[in-house]
Amino acid sequence: MADSLARRTIILRVDGENPESEKISVAAEIIRKGGLVAFPTETVYGLGADALNPNAVKGIYLAKMRPLDNPIIVHVANREDVYRLAAEVPRAAEKLMETFWPGPLTLVLKASNIVPRITTGGLDTVAIRMPRHKVALALIRVSERPIAAPSANLAGRPSPTLAEHVIRDLYGRIDAIIDAGPTNIGVESTVLDLTQDPPQILRPGGVTYEDLRDVLGRVSIHPAAASISEIHIRYARSPGMKHKHYAPRAEMVVVEGDLETIIRKVRDLAEQYTRAGRKVGILATDESMQKYSSGIVKSLGSRSNLAIAARNLFRLLREFDEEGVDVIIAEGVPEEGLGLAIMNRLRRAAGYNIIKAE
């Protein structure tokens, strides 16, 4: 099943709170047989396969057109599986699992010898998390397999927060899509490398730096996670570090600074692009969207509630593409809390095309 790209994709619509067991069983059987199933998590939709079946995992890379050196997160439904997948589990990992699991935190640990190197992107480490979503947990439990699952989109595209996004990217390339409605968080999990001292955030996400620091005391942030320019990385220890990610088809620019200077710069850019005959999309916030008179304006939500902004981000980038804009001008947000994850996604989506407003 995992060797052919031309597939008959079935869509299983389930109740996100009480997933129908017969539909989960259909999807779990596909996983057990080496197939590919897209399923919702609390962050984004994932594309799942048996993490311990190298041919099945290879199918993920082929379906997504994903570079083979980009590691895949392994999803589990109980903490006991971590001790099978990891060669060693430090006390810090146990504290983090007790505090944040199930939830949007991925832990990078030394891999045990049962984990295929195709799952780890060729590395000796494995990235593991337990999702906080009833459908995802049911699928893992019923399949009786740890499930390797990157985001369920073509490589480089904005991550999917609705089943419709998965259908557009992967219909006919995978075996099944479980549709349980929109995801809750909207940006991927935080990836924390526990093989480093101090532990290092490789990708910011739904668990914030501040959250981790409160539990561990010392936490560092990899330069690539907060950079305003591209950093060359030889080996990606986490997805979202090395290759192009989250990008809409339109050209994109991120404007950073304080809100008033951002608004002035966005206005100027929108007028320039419009005069040049280009269709403009403006990714604004509730506090600013009434300030713009040109272009298609969409709001992430309020700057005072970045959880809503994170939830809306990838959906709005895809909407701009559907509406045929040529260029997206995105406002930056403060980097505290979830803002670090949002800015990481915006900067990478724009290919680090960043303007500092003054």
Domain positions in the chain are 10-226, 251-356
Give the tokens for residue 329: 């001008």
Asked if residue 192 lies in contact with residue 341, where contact means CB atoms within 8 angstroms, the answer is: no
pLDDT at 358: 85
| 347: helix, strand or coil | helix
Same fold, 10-226 and 251-356: no
Dihedral sign from CA coordinates of 176, 179, 184, 186: positive
CATH number of the domain at 10-226, out of 3.40.50.300, 1.10.10.10, 3.40.50.10470, 3.90.870.10?
Answer: 3.90.870.10
pLDDT at 229: 72
- CA-nearest of 206, 255, 202 to 70 is 202
Lowest mean pLDDT among 153-167, 218-232, 294-308, 310-324: 218-232
The DSSP letter of residue 334 is: -
| 125: helix, strand or coil | strand
Q: Is residue 4's pLDDT more than 50? A: no
pTM above 0.85, yes or no: yes
Question: Higher confidence at residue 155 or residue 234?
Answer: 155
ω into residue 198 within 30 of 0, thus cis?
yes
Q: What angle do CA 221, 225, 231 make, to 5 degrees?
A: 115
Q: Which residues contact 187 (CB under 8 A, 6 or more apart)?
A: 43, 44, 159, 205, 206, 310, 313, 314, 338, 341, 342, 345
Count Cα neighbours of 295 within 13 Å in the Cβ-side half-sphere: 32
Count Cα neighbours of 124 within 13 Å in the Cβ-side half-sphere: 4
Q: Which residues contact 232 (CB under 8 A, 6 or more apart)?
A: none
pLDDT per position as a tens digit, 266-289: 999 999 999 999 999 999 999 999
Edge-to-edge strand list for the sheet holding 280-284: 296-299, 280-284, 327-331, 251-256, 354-356
ω into residue 102 within 30 of 0, thus cis?
yes
CATH fold group of domain 251-356: Rossmann fold (3.40.50)
- CA-nearest of 256, 268, 325, 309 to 292 is 268
- CA 329/CA 312 separation, integer angstroms: 16
In this prediction, residues 314-337 reach a mean pLDDT of 97
pLDDT at 281: 98
The percent of residues above 90 in pLDDT, for the chain, comes to: 89
Name the E strands within the chain: 10-13, 37-40, 45-50, 74-75, 105-110, 125-129, 147-148, 176-179, 190-193, 200-203, 220-221, 251-256, 280-284, 296-299, 327-331, 354-356
- CA-nearest of 318, 308, 350 to 331 is 350
pLDDT at 2: 41
